[in-house]
């Protein structure tokens, strides 16, 4: 992998040419949902997505969901040279999304996460991957959450840090664990305390070990992502022989 350490806001740029992906690259897109949203986006969604959007009580949450799904459809439509309205998704037994069978020949893989006002999208060809983002906010029960879900090593590493670093380290650990289990495609059927990720500041993101499977950690790469101030994110990717490219989404959409 070419990039190490954090991918900061300075690296997220606008594409200057048509964007295509291949097995040796992973693309991550960042979208500011409040800017991406407009009412026309709902015309891109299928019935089940519209039903899901309607279940949000707050208009801001509903609009963010519509924007996040609309941008996903526009992105995948661009990569596949397909009308975003024509895209269909399927889900495995643990809820991980994928393109439906009629698009399988592309072998395009994707994953999405959104928090507060930002969504991030990971796209690759032929590689399993997962992405997670969190908006950092104080959690009164942070220590009890860590004790419940983090591994003993991670809890010890977290408590070894100065207090002013522990909140960021907590979210760093959480997003890296989520990125890995999303890449695996097994969701919370994997116990979060049965594998270790690196959470200490200044050390590269990595999957350190997996309980009862000595070779598993070597199969995966982890990369820290920081799409904006106040956010922490992580990308998990199968393999190590890939390059990361980060893009800022800025396209609009208006129904014709």
- The confidence score (pLDDT) of residue 2 equals 40
**Mean pLDDT (whole number) for 180-194:** 90
pLDDT-based confidence at residue 8 (cuts at 50, 70, 90): low
Is residue 54 within a helix (H) or strand (E), and if so which, with residue range? helix 47-54
Q: Residue 3 has what pLDDT?
A: 44
Q: With contact defined as beta carbons under 8 Å apart, do 186 and 194 qualify?
A: no
Query: For residue 30, what pLDDT is reported?
Result: 96
Q: Which of 176, 184, 156, 209 is nearest to 96 (CA)?
A: 184
pTM of the model: 0.93
**34-70 as b/e: b if 16+ CB within 10 A:** eebbeeebbebbeeebeeebeeeeeeeebbbbbbbbb
Q: What does pLDDT average to over the chain?
A: 91
- Please state, in angstroms and rounded to a whole number, the distance separating the CA atoms of residues 45 and 162: 46
- Residues of the chain above pLDDT 70, percent: 93
135-160 exposure pattern, b = at least 16 Cβ within 10 A, e = fewer: ebeeeeeeeeebeebbbebbbebbee
**Interstrand relation of 207-210 and 97-99 (parallel, antiparallel or unpaired):** unpaired
HSE-up of residue 173 (Cα within 13 Å, Cβ side): 30
Question: For 150-242, where are the alpha helices, taking DSSP H only?
Answer: 152-159, 163-184
Q: Which residues contact 132 (CB under 8 A, 6 or more apart)?
A: 113, 174, 175, 176, 178, 179, 182, 233, 234
- Where are the extended beta strands (E) located within the chain? 6-7, 25-32, 89-91, 97-99, 108-115, 118-125, 129-135, 195-197, 207-210, 220-225, 231-238, 243-248
Q: Is residue 148 predicted with pLDDT exceeding 80?
A: yes
**64-111 pLDDT, tens digit each:** 999 999 999 999 999 999 999 999 999 998 889 999 999 888 899 999
């Amino acid at each position: 992998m070419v990039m190490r350490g954090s991918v900061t806001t300075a690296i997220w740029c606008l594409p200057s040419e048509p964007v295509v992906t291949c097995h040796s690259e992973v693309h991550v897109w960042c979208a500011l949902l409040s800017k991406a949203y407009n009412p026309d986006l709902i015309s891109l969604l299928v019935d089940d997505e519209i039903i899901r959007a309607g279940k949000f009580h707050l208009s801001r949450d509903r609009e963010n969901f519509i924007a996040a799904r609309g941008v996903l459809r526009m992105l995948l439509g661009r990569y596949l040279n397909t009308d975003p309205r024509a895209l269909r998704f399927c889900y495995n037994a643990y809820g991980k999304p994928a393109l439906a069978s009629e698009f399988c020949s592309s072998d395009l893989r994707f994953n999405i996460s959104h928090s507060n006002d930002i969504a991030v999208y990971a796209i690759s060809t032929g590689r399993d991957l997962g992405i997670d983002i969190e908006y950092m906010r104080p959690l009164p029960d942070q220590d009890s959450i860590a004790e419940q879900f983090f591994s003993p090593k991670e809890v010890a590493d977290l408590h070894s840090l100065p207090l002013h670093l522990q909140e960021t380290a907590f979210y760093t650990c959480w997003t890296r664990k989520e990125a890995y289990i999303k890449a695996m495609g097994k969701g919370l059927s994997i116990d979060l305390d049965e594998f270790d990720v690196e959470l200490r500041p200044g050390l590269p993101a990595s999957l350190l070990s997996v309980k009862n499977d000595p070779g598993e950690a070597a199969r995966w790469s982890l990369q820290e992502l920081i799409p904006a101030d106040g956010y922490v994110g992580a990308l998990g990717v199968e393999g190590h022989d890939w390059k990361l490219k980060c893009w800022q989404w800025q396209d609009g959409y208006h129904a014709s």
